[in-house]
Amino acid sequence: MLTEVSGEKLPIPDVEETRRRLKAGQDLIGSLTVAEWLDQWLAGKRIRKSGISRYETDVRVHLKPHIGDRRLDRLRVSHLSEMFTAITDANAEILEQNAQRRAAIEELATVPWKGAENRARRKAMKAAIDAMPPFRRVTGPATRQHIKATLRAALNDAIGQQIVTFNPATHVEIDPVRKPKALVWTDERVARWRQTGEKPSPVMVWTPEQTGAFLDFVAEHRLYAMWHLIAFRGLRRGEACGQPWSETNLDRHALTVTGQLIQDGWEVEASEPKTDSGFRVVALDDDTVGVLERHRKQQEADRAEWGSAWVETGLVFTQEDGSWLHPGKVTDLFERLVAASDLPPIRLHDLRHGAATLMLAASIDVKIVSDTLGHSDTRITRDIYQSVLPHVGKNAAEATAKLVPLQRKAEAEEARRKAEAKKARKTAKKAKRAKKAQPEGKKKGQKAKREKPAQ
């Protein structure tokens, strides 16, 4: 060890660190780099393919280029701060380059096609655009948090194997992720959207009336039962695509979520639910059971029509030939149907969001709502999925206001009661005078009739 230290002119290792390494059977001179450890760590991971792909992306695109050549045992918080600063600076450069390319494309669109001079100008502009960097996505707050989480997990495993004793990823500070708040498509927001085409929030929820209008619009669609199930029972996209008939008991009005179809890039694979709480039993109402029964009859007719070409997957929702639905294509199809319905736009996941909102608005206990959605904690349900429908918010506001005994409210209520009593007394007196005057009027009429001369 001393020979290697003196030969490479390295600082003398710490005594306690050397003892620890000797006791753990590790190399006394810690030469393992971050990149080498990340490769070892990824090779040892035993999780689903999509999770590995996400880790590999973080490692390949961000961690290795910025800190891969640093020694693992000498990685510090300052190194990670520098990495995230560099990512932020790269974001600014990407935005500027995207803006330049977009401006050039817009300018090109204004140049006429006719004329030799215009054609030469267009050719030069196209060449300039081709030389520009392509449109790129920035590394957003959520991605930066995932990069940090990936490195933190890798370093925690290194600590568990006694390779290092400190995890700088636990202590580095980066901007928190601000999740967009869900908003309901009120009449005012719909009117504004029709004028400008802009959504008030990335996460929007339909009112019960709008949800009903959409379901009426797609009533004859082949996958109507899927839209209905997501809208009322809040299944995730992958869970609906991967729901088998063997776990769907219509006689008992229940289905059990035991798996899902997920995307890895554009490839589709079967997987277990997202979390342990994803394994759950979902109760079905009578109407939903009827919808699924009709869907099953239609699927049996399709199976008979396709004959030997039918692909037997055993799933509730499939393509026309019985094969798997592609989750990405399901999302695209939903967006096209929403656009055709002329309703304000929502994402397919917002249909699940709306199901949670409707259940909460119907005064369903939040624990039942959480279990139905497959959440591990009711706080997730409250924080993410509890959008307030307009009439629910109004009723809550009125109920809250009635609890506070304000003096001005008491005085206003007393004045209102006095005014109503005064009005009632006046009405009663008027009716009494009218009653007294009625007999005199009758007598005068009879006397006039007797005195009337004969014709």
Q: Cα(367)–Cα(193) distance, rounded to whole angstroms?
A: 35
Residues 242 and 381 in one domain: yes
| Nearest C-alpha neighbor of 274 from the set 310, 229, 233, 236 | 236
Residues 163 and 127 occupy one common structural domain: yes
* Inside any domain, residue 421: no
Q: Of 363, 388, 413, which one is at a domain's C-terminal end?
A: 388
**Residue 244 is part of which domain span?**
183-388
For residue 155, being part of any structural domain is answered with yes
Q: Same domain for 202 and 268?
A: yes
- Angstrom CA distances, 133 to 69, 85, 123, 426, stand at 27, 22, 18, 84
Q: Are residues 220 and 363 in the same domain?
A: yes
Q: What is the pLDDT of residue 430?
A: 82
- 225 lies in the same domain as 282: yes
Q: Is 442 helix (H, G, I), strand (E, B) or coil?
A: helix
User: Is residue 428 one of the residues assigned to a domain?
Assistant: no
For residues 60 and 100, membership in a common domain is answered with: yes
Q: Are residues 334 and 361 in the same domain?
A: yes
Whether the pLDDT of residue 10 is over 60: the answer is no
Amino acid at 19: R
pLDDT in tens, 107-146: 999 999 999 999 999 999 999 999 999 999 999 998 999 9
Which among 349, 373, 388 is the end of a domain? 388
CATH of the domain at 306: 1.10.443.10
Picking from 28-32, 82-86, 325-329, which range would have the lowest pLDDT averaged per residue?
A: 28-32
Q: How many domains does the chain have?
A: 3
For 294-317, the pLDDT digits (tens) are 999 999 999 999 999 999 999 999
Cα separation, 127 vs 335, in Å, equals 36
Q: Kindly report, residue by residue over 220-254, the tens digit of the pLDDT.
A: 999 999 999 999 999 999 999 999 999 999 999 99
Residues 56 and 128 in one domain: yes
| 8 found inside a domain | yes
* Same-domain pairing of 24 and 37: no
Residue scoring higher pLDDT (410 or 184): 184
Residues 45 and 89 in one domain: yes
What local confidence, expressed as pLDDT, does residue 305 receive?
A: 95
Number of neighbours of residue 373 by Cβ within 10 angstroms: 24
**What is the bridge-based pairing of β-strands 254-257 and 280-283?**
antiparallel
Instruction: Let me know if residue 417 belongs to a domain.
Output: no
Comparing CA positions, the residue from 159, 195, 197, 201 lying closest to residue 180 is 201
Q: Between residues 424 and 218, which one has the greater pLDDT?
A: 218
What is the band of 39 on the pLDDT scale with cuts at 50, 70, 90?
very high
- The single residue listed with the structure tokens 């007598």 is 443
HEC readout, 138-167 = CCCHHHHHHHHHHHHHHHHHHHHCCCCCCC
Domain stop point among 362, 388, 414 = 388
Residue 378's pLDDT is what? 77
In this prediction, residues 101-106 reach a mean pLDDT of 93
Average pLDDT over residues 168-184: 86
Cβ atoms of 222 and 256 within 8 Å: the answer is no
* Torsion-angle region of 314 (φ positive above 0: left; ψ -120 to 50: alpha; else: beta): left
Tell me: do 253 and 316 sit in the same domain: yes
Per-residue pLDDT reduced to its tens digit, 248-296: 999 999 999 999 998 877 888 898 887 788 899 999 999 999 999 999 9
Task: Mean pLDDT check: name the lowest of 163-172, 284-293, 328-337, 373-382.
Answer: 373-382
Residue 5 lies in a domain: yes
pLDDT of residue 328: 93
| Weakest mean pLDDT among 73-77, 130-134, 451-455 | 451-455
Percentage of residues of the chain with pLDDT beyond 90: 58
Task: Note the helical H segments in 260-389.
Answer: 286-306, 327-341, 348-361, 366-373, 378-385
Give the 3-state secondary structure percentages of the chain, helix then strand then coil, rounded to 5. 65, 5, 30
Percentage of the chain with pLDDT > 70? 83
Q: What is the average pLDDT value for the chain, to the nearest integer?
A: 86
Q: Give the whole-angstrom CA distance, residue 186 versus residue 206.
A: 8
- pLDDT value of residue 353: 85
Same domain, yes or no, for 153 and 9? no
Task: Indicate whether 440 belongs to any domain.
Answer: no
* Domain CATH for 113: 1.10.150.130
Q: Can you read off the two tokens belonging to residue 87?
A: 């990512």
Query: Using 50, 70 and 90 to split pLDDT, how confident is the model at 455?
Result: very low
Q: What is the pLDDT of residues 348-361, one digit of tens each?
A: 999 988 888 888 77
Band of the pLDDT at 452, cuts 50, 70, 90?
low
Q: Is residue 410 part of a domain?
A: no
438, pLDDT greater than 70:
no
